[in-house]
Chains A and B, each alone.
Chain A
Amino acid sequence: MKRTHLMAGTALVAALAAGAVAAESLTIGLASEPTAVDPHYHDVSPNNALTLHIFSALGKLDADQNVHPALAKSWSNEDDKTWVFNLRDDVTFSDGSKFDADDVIFTFCRLMNNETSVAPTGKEVANMASVEAVDPYTLKIVTNEVEPLLPELLSQIMVLSEGVAEHGEITFDLENQCGVTGAWPSVEDFNSGKAAIGTGPFVLKEFTKGSKITLEKNPAYWGDAAEWDAVTFVPVPASGPRLAGLLSGDYDMIENPAARDIVQIEKNDGLEYSSAASNRVIFLQMDIGRDDTPFVETTDGKNPFQDIRVRKAISMAIDRQAIVDRIMDGFAQPAYQFVPDGMFGGMENPEALEYNPEKAKELLAEAGYPDGFKLTFHATNDRYINDSQVAQAVAQFLTRVGIQTDLDAMTRSIFFTRRSGREFSFSMGGWGSSEGGAASFLRQYVTTGNKDLGIGGSNYGDWSDPEFDAVVIEAISTIDEAKRKELLQQASQMAVEKMGFIPLHFESSIWAFRKGLDYPGRKDQYTLAYEITSDAAN
């Protein structure tokens, strides 16, 4: 009797001790607030990063934006428009129900019946002619148009459980609500937790908007378990207080500390930081389509941007390395193309765009502007990292070679409205290439606008190069990866050679955390708690 008690007592103490050591929780200070737990509500980074913790998709994108299997073990093409996805059969949702092909079909149908979302969803689903569950773990999708990026696109569509709506038999029959008889889940259902049933590494415990979001480890997760039993996200948009929280120990990690605060973090023995190149390129966009452009004053009345020598001169007048070193405090890379090295479709070893103000002046003189011309440059002052300082530097570089530049930096809400109204002659923008590698920027900005193909939507300066268009259009409908890569590399080369757009630099993202943690960082700038490791485990 006594010995049993002693053994039980020892076992209890051991269990408590082990439990106390293993129960690790993490508090992370976020730079922007996620507005909803609904993964299909608004396609913005904070929301996407949060929903990746609670849900999974057919595939997942790694830190370099390459796609890997997730809920789908593998996939293949029967022909250019037919895809077959083999799903995992060992996955359960957080409410215990089993995952199968019906859940995926339900998810696609929900995207087409998403009343409460901010912007219309379902663009990818609209391209699906048919979706069939050949068996519970095999999904066959036939697309209308060839879409080589289907796995990447599906990696960004989080899969919901069919149990969140009442339904009969689920089929991809959009006319008849796919067999759903009850109400489709709304964004409130997700925020309250009712519909937040997912297959991710964490389960939602509490979502108090503006205040904090608490997650708990999902014991039934199909993948590698995260190190943390509980994660709390606290949105602190002002960077000063966010850093203060890290310094005082309230937060274990924060996103986006200001680059100038890194000095303080380096000096502090209890803190570390990591930085990773992001996929966001900062570039200059010129009005080339119009012969008479509003914010340029020249002696001959023509549009100087239409002359390639002027564009090259502008690129040569800007010292990208100086901007990176002095304004971005080293947390950026000069850009000589539109996607960072290593991303799909980018040139392997792009030629550096040289800084040579003397040659720039010569080119300008050759083009007929020996005394330069006058220009008003438009940029944001609150959207990209140090955007107004970078814009000021660019304006000064240009003025030095004779292009008298006035800078008009404005808040982003006004900037984007005016830019899409095609009001500017010379503006600075940013773009994060999410999927598709090089194709992302090239098809959105550099191709001639084409509503039917859905390309060139942001080509506000009307840059048009039919040869280039042909290469990009072919690339985005080529299923064969090797051929597509080659075409995109060719397109990237053409884009830089003709210089319809001028790349400046790639932003880097920074994360700061307490000593003992490690975070490798990601190109998409997401902060994922399950990729944070502690040094003890390494």
Chain B
Amino acid sequence: MFTFVTQRLLQSTAVLFAVSVAVFLAVYAVGNPVDLLISPEATQAERAEMIARYGLDRPVWSQYLTFLGNALQGDLGTSFVHGEPALSLILSRVPATFELVVSALLIASVIGIPVGLWVGLNDGSFGSRAVMTGSIMGYSIPSFWKGMVLILVFAVWLNWLPASGRGETVEIFGVPFSFLTVDGLRHMAMPVINLAIPNIALMIRLTAAGASEAARQDYVKFARAKGVSNTRIVRRHILRNILIPIVTVLGVEFGSLIAFSTITETVFAWPGMGKLLITSIYQLDRPVVVAYVMLVTFIFVTVNLLVDFAYAALDPRVKLSERMS
């Protein structure tokens, strides 16, 4: 167990380092942020002063080494555009994205898994085929269009929900969350539905496939023959066996939604991380882009580790030392 964790940590550090080099060089190659930041009426002298101020006239390896030195002390640079430390800027947006993603995945699991189970166990019935067809639409419809239609229907025509933005927030341990107020929930409703729909579809299909396969296994036939009740079979045998792929996908989805719910956040003007990322890329705000990618890599690595622990908990045959990769 201990060796497993240590090996994983070393691997993760190597990944973080490689990612930082790649992103740093990539953003550097795209262009010079000075032209976007400086007042267009600036003189050549001002422009030169600004370039020197941000250290943009030094060779790229020198800029990278400065960055690395600071990063090891916890300082991932200061945003060119916002003037705040990049890491704290991103972390200040995490609660908003976190709220959306956790709610969406919660809804996706609560709806998707039971429905998927029902579909998988009643394979071939009209209802199950209808649900499976419907679920294709769920993850094929483009997120941007889906979001706009939701706004059109619920905000413009019916006027039930606000069109965009985040609602009232309440601070827990100094962190503002909006799901504790009615106004906050009303603002959250549509972006969460927008994120949840493709994930519900995914959960349904995954659970259905797993369940229908598990239902055909010998141990299920044997349990039925023994006279074990249906509920107990589903709960104790089928569900436990299909949870491993579901947990894997949930882990991956969680990581990727936290990092890249950009489209939903843009459509609903939700002040989360994704919107910050896209704006920073446009403005060539390199410190924020690099800090963001490194943070996201860190999140993925952590989530993967947690998923591996979950495997060990779910399947007693899995020994952690075997899961080195």
Contact = CB atoms under 8 A, between A and B. Distances in A.
Given A250-B164, A413-B283, A118 B83 contact: yes
Interface stretch (B7-15, B98-106, B149-157, B304-312): B149-157
B156 A211 contact: no
Given A118-B37, A250-B163, A241 B43 contact: no
- Top 7 A-B residue pairs of the complex, sorted by shortest distance between their CB atoms: A210-B271, A417-B31, A454-B43, A416-B35, A248-B155, A245-B163, A43-B39
B148 A241 contact: yes
A35 B35 contact: no
A211 B41 CA distance: 30
A370 interface: no
Interface string B131-156: 00000000000000000100110011
20 contacts: A118-B80, A119-B50, A123-B46, A187-B83, A211-B271, A212-B165, A234-B165, A234-B269, A237-B269, A241-B148, A241-B164, A241-B267, A241-B269, A244-B156, A245-B163, A248-B155, A413-B31, A413-B283, A416-B31, A431-B40
B83 A444 contact: no
A43 B80 CA distance: 13
Given A236-B165, A420-B32, A451-B45, 20 more contacts: A41-B83, A120-B53, A188-B83, A208-B271, A209-B82, A209-B92, A211-B271, A234-B164, A234-B269, A237-B266, A237-B279, A238-B266, A238-B269, A241-B163, A241-B269, A244-B152, A417-B31, A440-B41, A449-B44, A454-B45
A444 B39 CA distance: 12
Interface string A435-479: 000001000100001010011011000000000000000000000
Nearest to B178: A211
B155 A250 contact: yes
Nearest to A419: B35
Interface in B16-51: 30-33, 35-47, 49-50
A297 B283 CA distance: 34
Given A212-B165, A241-B269, A245-B164, A35 B31 contact: no
A109 B101 CA distance: 47
B269 A36 contact: no
A84 to B, nearest CB: 27
B205 interface: no
Nearest to A234: B165
A249 interface: yes
A243 to B, nearest CB: 9
Contact of B37 (A42, A187, A418): A42
A97 interface: no
Range of interface residues on chain A? 35 or more
B269 A116 contact: no
A240 B266 CA distance: 10
A413 B42 contact: no
Contacts of A212: 165
B115 interface: no
A35 B81 contact: yes
Best-buried of B45, B49, B83, B283 by chain A (most CB within 10 Å) = B83
Contact of B36 (A241, A248, A416, A449): A416
B171 to A, nearest CB: 12
A118 B81 contact: yes
Interface of A: 33, 35-36, 41-43, 116-120, 123, 187-188, 208-212, 234-238, 240-242, 244-245, 247-250, 382, 411-414, 416-420, 431, 434, 440, 444, 449, 451, 454-455, 457-458
A418 B164 CA distance: 36
Nearest to A236: B269
Contacts of B155: 244-245, 248, 250
Interface residues of B, number: 49
Interface string B269-283: 101000110010011
B51 to A, nearest CB: 11
A212 B276 CA distance: 15
Contacts of A454: 43-45
A343 to B, nearest CB: 16
Contacts of B42: 119, 457
Contacts of B35: 416-417, 419-420
B253 interface: no
B237 interface: no
Best-buried of B152, B156, B268 by chain A (most CB within 10 Å) = B156
B258 interface: no
Contacts of B271: 208-211
A239 to B, nearest CB: 11
A452 to B, nearest CB: 9
Nearest to A247: B156
Contact of A434 (B41, B80, B164): B41
Contacts of B40: 431, 444, 458
B163 A248 contact: yes
A526 to B, nearest CB: 16
B80 A414 contact: no
B159 interface: yes
Contacts of A123: 43, 46
A472 to B, nearest CB: 15
Contact of B30 (A41, A413, A440): A413
A42 B284 contact: no
B44 A451 contact: yes
B267 A238 contact: yes
A36 B83 contact: yes
B213 to A, nearest CB: 42
A444 B45 CA distance: 13
Interface string B72-88: 00000000111110000
Contacts of A413: 30-31, 33, 36, 282-284
A188 B38 contact: no
Contacts of A411: 282
Best-buried of A42, A187, A188, A413 by chain B (most CB within 10 Å) = A413
Nearest to A456: B44
A208 B176 CA distance: 11
Contact of B46 (A119, A241, A249, A449): A119
Contacts of A248: 151, 155-156, 159, 162-163
B81 A42 contact: yes
Contact of B41 (A208, A209, A247, A444): A444
B32 A210 contact: no
Contacts of A417: 31-32, 35
Interface in B219-259: none
A212 B167 CA distance: 10
Given A413-B284, A444-B41, A458-B40, A240 B148 contact: yes
A412 B42 CA distance: 18
Contacts of B33: 413
A451 B268 CA distance: 46
Contacts of B50: 119-120
B16 to A, nearest CB: 26
B277 to A, nearest CB: 12
Nearest to B263: A238
Nearest to A454: B43
